[in-house]
Amino acid sequence: MGRRGGGAGKGFHEAPLVLFSALAVAGAGIGGSRVLLAATGQGAWASSPWEAGVVAGLLALGVLVSTLHLGRPSRAGLALRMVGRSALTAEVLALGASLAVGALAALLPPGSAVGGLARVLLPWLSVLVLLTLGTVYRLPGQVGWGGSAFLRPLALGMVFGMVVQGAAGSWEVGGSALAVLLLVWVVDALLMVLGGRKLERTLGSAEASHPAVFRRRRLLLAVRFSLVNLVAPLAFLLAWTLLLVVVLVAGGVLLDRFLFYALAARLTTEGEVRRVEAALHRRSIAPQSSTD
């Protein structure tokens, strides 16, 4: 039984971050999926103005929501001070750049050279956003956020983006694009499984940030897995309406992001102490133990 002194209060303060990252994954996923589509010959390397508009809109909404998470939203500009030093600054820059480029890509007329450049750049900036969304959380001691976890926003974003693009008619079902979608689905599923196993392995010394949710992690992770990696692909393959598949994947994105923050677990002194005490307890009640 530890002492209560020290540290943050209870409550799920990360809620705005859940929404923000869901919007960012969604927007950047749509933008980034253009790279996959173009690579499989299913479209141009440049986003259409519509596409850019949707991307920019989602990202803008996301950035707005993220400022709601700040204790001092009016100081949001400070986030850009540590360029080259802070991973979070890098993420904010990537988002900002994508937003700006996306806006240009959406608003500038088709003939504009700058607009054209913007439309070509946007997909790659979107991929960058998806990567930074992952790398920003490679933090010491956070067991769920290390290792291959930094690829999860990228994989999930691509799944979402491809599905939405399909619903919007950007590619024909069948052929290499389908293969790529299925491949990304597999990658996402793999990352989920790997992450889950790593979490279970390091549980002994980890301290959950939100114990109540953490206790139900297996159920919640199963729901997320099902939504994105079972039900959605199944629905897709059974040729259900793509809109339905979009809804399923969108739900999965939201749940994924919620679980990302809610299942955060850290190696802490308290966690280490608990691990040690559990072992001591087991040793003390084991039949062959000598009690001092």
* Residue 76 makes contact with another protein by CB under 8 A: yes
* Residue 287 makes contact with another protein by CB under 8 A: no
* Residue 2 makes contact with another protein by CB under 8 A: yes
Give the binding range for another protein (CB under 8 A) out of 94-102, 117-125, 133-141, 174-182.
Answer: 133-141
Burial (Cβ within 10 Å: 0-12, 13-18, ≥19) of residue 238: exposed
User: 77 vs 53, 73, 74, 92, 181, CA distance in Å?
Assistant: 24, 9, 8, 10, 37
CB contact at 8 A, 205 and 271: yes
Subset of residues 5 to 24 that bind another protein, contact rule: CB under 8 A = 5-9, 13
Residue whose pair of structure tokens reads 């299925």 in the numeric block: 182
**Between residues 33 and 205, which has the closer beta carbon with respect to another protein?**
205
Instruction: List Cβ neighbours of 142 (8 Å cut-off, separation of 6 or more).
Output: 264, 265, 266
The H or E element that residue 206 is part of is strand 206-208
Subset of residues 187 to 216 that bind another protein, contact rule: CB under 8 A = 200-201, 203-206, 208, 211, 214-215
CB contact at 8 A, 132 and 94: yes
Give the binding range for another protein (CB under 8 A) out of 19-27, 72-80, 124-132, 241-249.
Answer: 72-80
User: What is the rounded distance in angstroms from the CA atom of residue 184 to the CA atom of residue 155?
Assistant: 6
State the binding string over 86-125 for another protein (x if CB under 8 A, else -). xxxx--x---------------------------------
User: What is the rounded distance in angstroms from the CA atom of residue 292 to the CA atom of residue 290?
Assistant: 6
| Smallest separation, CB 82 to another protein (Å) | 5
**Between residues 112 and 268, which has the closer beta carbon with respect to another protein?**
268
User: Which residues make up the interface to another protein (CB under 8 A)?
Assistant: 1-9, 13, 69-73, 75-76, 78-82, 85-89, 92, 137, 139-142, 200-201, 203-206, 208, 211, 214-215, 217, 264-286, 289, 291-292
